[in-house]
Amino acid sequence: MAGTDHNPWRRFLALPNESRTKTLVMAFLVSGICALMVSGATVLLRPIQTANRAAEEQARIAELVRGIPGMTDLLEQSGGTLSTVVIDLDDGRAAQDVTTETFATVLADTANWTALEPAADIAGLAQRPDYAQIFLLRTGEEISLVLLPLTGQGYGGRIDAILALEGDMNTIAGIAITGHSETPGLGGRIEDPSWQARFPGTLLRDEGGELRFGVARGTASTPYQVDGITGATRTGRGVSNMVQFWLGPDGYGPLLRAINRGEF
């Protein structure tokens, strides 16, 4: 570089720091490089993170099943595995052309999602998939346990959970929270095993068949309620709405009826 003037980069560096050009260019340069770094890391590491999350969810399902009284014995009797079924949420039957292998790709297609009416959308989801992957455990021919994945809107973001129902499709056998972004120490306590331990035995519907389940604002007063978490009213309401929505007519309602009719 003979003259400093011919190299634009050097000319730029030689500018006084206070000049407007230098300020602007530096700002863009720094943010551009940082953006590259951040997006590079995110994109490169995403497959590993997804695998981690899937493994974690598997571990939670296993833990949920183990935590339900008598479940380990049941599992041993039935060969130790839960069968996975992809169901069509609209008619509550096993999906014909979707398998567990193709499930993820099918859900990636927006055509397989249904927009929800604002009145029906109590869980704040805006749309729900047409297919869901559930887990069934049989004792002989009878279904003794169903695991249903749920999603809802909490205080800080989405809550993902898996709800286990006993064979009567009305008694909760357990719940596992697989993902949430609630405030640590407050709503984040939905992760606590001690809070989740209050779910088993809670009933969903009364004799008339009406869905009565809810998270109480304080201590539970009916067999359909679970104690709330102090200081986390909106998280509790989020969990209530999530269960209400997913076990209702737009969620697993048709499936539960089909199971009760003995179609599975």
Interface ranges with other proteins (CB under 8 A): 13, 17-19, 22-23, 26-27, 30-31, 34-35, 37-38, 41-42, 45, 48-49, 52-53, 56, 184, 188
First CA to last CA across the chain, in angstroms? 79
Identity of the residue numbered 88:
D
Structure tokens at 240: 């209530």
Helix ranges (DSSP H) in 68-210: 71-77, 103-108, 193-196
Q: Which is nearer to other proteins, 48 or 119 (CB)?
A: 48
- At 221, which amino acid appears? S
Query: Closest separation between CB of residue 4 and other proteins, Å?
Result: 15
Under 8 Å CB-to-CB from 101, ≥6 apart: which residues? none
Alpha carbon distance 162, 196 (integer Å): 11
How many CB atoms sit inside 10 A of residue 90's CB?
A: 12
For residues 31 and 77, which CB has a smaller minimum distance to other proteins in the complex? 31
**What is the nearest approach in angstroms of other proteins to the Cβ of residue 41?**
4
Smaller CB distance to other proteins: residue 53 or 257? 53
Alpha carbon distance 204, 253 (integer Å)? 12
Choice between 4 and 49, CB closer to other proteins: 49
Nearer to other proteins, 13 or 62 (CB): 13
Q: How far is the CB of 238 from other proteins (least distance, A)?
A: 19
- What is the dihedral angle through the alpha carbons of 19, 24, 28, 29, rounded to the nearest 10 degrees? -10
Strand partners, 127: 115
Q: Cβ of residue 15: shortest distance to other proteins, in angstroms?
A: 9
Comparing CB distances to other proteins, the nearer of 184 and 218 is 184
Give min distance, CB of 73 to other proteins, in A. Answer: 26
Quick one: tokens of 179? 């993902």
Q: How far is the CB of 161 from other proteins (least distance, A)?
A: 16
- Give how far Cα 143 sits from Cα of 78, 157, 183, 203, 249, Å: 11, 33, 37, 18, 21
Q: Cβ of residue 210: shortest distance to other proteins, in angstroms?
A: 38
**Alpha helix locations (H) across the chain?**
8-14, 20-67, 71-77, 103-108, 193-196, 233-246, 253-261
Q: Nearer Cβ to other proteins, position 139 or 181?
A: 181
